[in-house]
Structure 1
Amino acid sequence: MPLTLAGPVHSDLTIKKSRFIGCVQAVAGRSEAQAIVAQLRIEHPGAAHVCWALLAGGQSAANDDGEPSGTAGRPMLEVLRRQDLDGVLATVVRYFGGVKLGAGGLVRAYTDAVAQALLGAGKIPIRQRVALRCAVPYAMEGMVRRELEKAQAVLDGVTHGDAVQFAFTVVEGDAAALVARLNKAGQGQLAWLEA
């Protein structure tokens, strides 16, 4: 089962006078990851490189940010893959210390910065969610809201027209029980719509 991180975790390594500041954190996707990397560039204007690797929703990306090709982003990505992570961004900010590390030294440094951060990371299982939509008479709106809250469903939208339409997501393993409860409480007046 894929895992994600409970919260951001940092590492700070100094190798031959170069400083490597690593961070691993949960992200929803590429746009959020790119915003975090852009913010790191602002926070660390004197850094030589801001390298990153992303695994999110089947997408992967790696960026060496000027380091020799394949010495930063890809090794960082491999660390994430070996940990069976998803929805995770790894970043390493490098302050150059004046001593060249060579390709092997760079691979080890970037790998170690991510691995050290992951040692202190809280990992949690990713629970897949299912999107559902239903319509009910106005008199049943309160009942549906209570059932969704009880099932810890995430309400994406409510539309009031001829009937009240709910769009929501729920953890995949809880969906069947929620649908059964709503069908029973709806007494034939609840209609399921295409999500």
Structure 2
Amino acid sequence: MTPGSPDRYRTLTAPVRVETEVRRSRFACDLRPVSSEAAARGVLDEVRAESRDAGHHCSAWVLGPDASTVRSHDDGEPSGTAGAPMLDVLRGRALIDVVAVVSRWFGGTLLGTGGLIRAYGDAVAAAVDAAALVTMRRRDGLVVDVPAADGARVENALRGRSDTTVDESRWHATGLVLHLAVEPASTGAVEGVVASLTSGLGRVSPGHPQWVATRDPG
């Protein structure tokens, strides 16, 4: 999978914090799931408030299913030595809707440009390794309206499909309305099932696309 793939992406299930040490400098990476820049900045503000004694709070985030929003900041470290390697790890692991904040406590020994790049990148990589991940998969929304006489048969058939989830079923005066989440490649097949079981009387219309979480195999 590549970052920004239109049908799936990876993210976190919960926040994680991991500490590393390089030549007596201590690094703490807070890695959290977020859905907006405001939320990412809120995490940065929270970490700053909780770790006021740290010399730097460097950050990076990737947002949006297409990875359209990326930001990184060195927070006083030499340009390109902190935020950029942090961002490289997030993008290299194909993580989206995630913010990383690395707080650094100086240990008295200068790390140099290369040392800082490795240290900040390794801090984020360690947090990712410790995190529980999920793959978010895009599903098309469909609304199915079928005559009452065919309702139960259609619903049972659709619930039996591994590529389809029935999110809601509602009876009305003349039939049954089903709201579905369907794998994009299976939309045509679902339409065919409805047409076949209702002799063409069932109606299928677009619903709202959604993202469904599935456990990441690691």
1:20 and 2:27 aligned: yes
In 2, the alpha carbon distance for the partners of 1:156 and 1:29 equals: 28
Which of 162, 170, 181 is matched with 2:182 structurally?
170
2:204 corresponds to which residue?
Answer: 192
Q: 1:86 to 1:93 in 2, by over 3 A?
A: closer
2:34–2:99 CA contact under 8 A, matched in 1: no
Which of 84, 88, 101 is matched with 1:92 structurally?
101
Which of 112, 124, 144 is matched with 1:134 structurally?
144
Q: 1:65 to 1:135 in 2, by over 3 A?
A: farther
1:73 and 2:89 aligned: no
Once the two structures are superposed, the pairs formed by residues 1-195 of structure 1 within 5 Å of their partners are 1-2=1-2, 4-5=10-11, 7-8=13-14, 10-24=17-31, 30=37, 33-34=40-41, 36-41=43-48, 43-47=50-54, 48-58=56-66, 59-64=68-73, 66-68=75-77, 69-83=79-93, 85-97=94-106, 99=108, 101-120=111-130, 126-137=136-147, 142=152, 145-147=155-157, 149-150=159-160, 151=162, 152-153=164-165, 155=167, 165-195=177-207
1:79–1:114 CA contact under 8 A, matched in 2: yes
In 2, the alpha carbon distance for the partners of 1:137 and 1:35 equals: 50
Secondary structure of the residue aligned to 2:61 is strand
Show structure 2 runs of 5+ residues with no match. 3-8, 208-218
**1:42-67, Cα deviation, whole Å (9 max, x unpaired):** 55454441512215412231231623
* TM-score normalized with structure 1 length: 0.69
1:4–1:26 CA contact under 8 A, matched in 2: no
CA RMSD of aligned residues (A): 3.9
1:76–1:110 CA contact under 8 A, matched in 2: yes
1:155–1:168 CA contact under 8 A, matched in 2: yes
* TM-score normalized with structure 2 length: 0.64
In 2, the alpha carbon distance for the partners of 1:51 and 1:10 equals: 14
Q: 1:66 to 1:26 in 2, by over 3 A?
A: closer
- Number of matched residues? 194
Show structure 1 runs of 5+ residues with no match. none
In 2, the alpha carbon distance for the partners of 1:110 and 1:170 equals: 40
1:18–1:94 CA contact under 8 A, matched in 2: no
Q: Which has the higher helix share?
A: 1
**1:9-54, Cα deviation, whole Å (9 max, x unpaired):** 5431123443222244555555554554455445545444151221
Shift of 1:119: 3.5
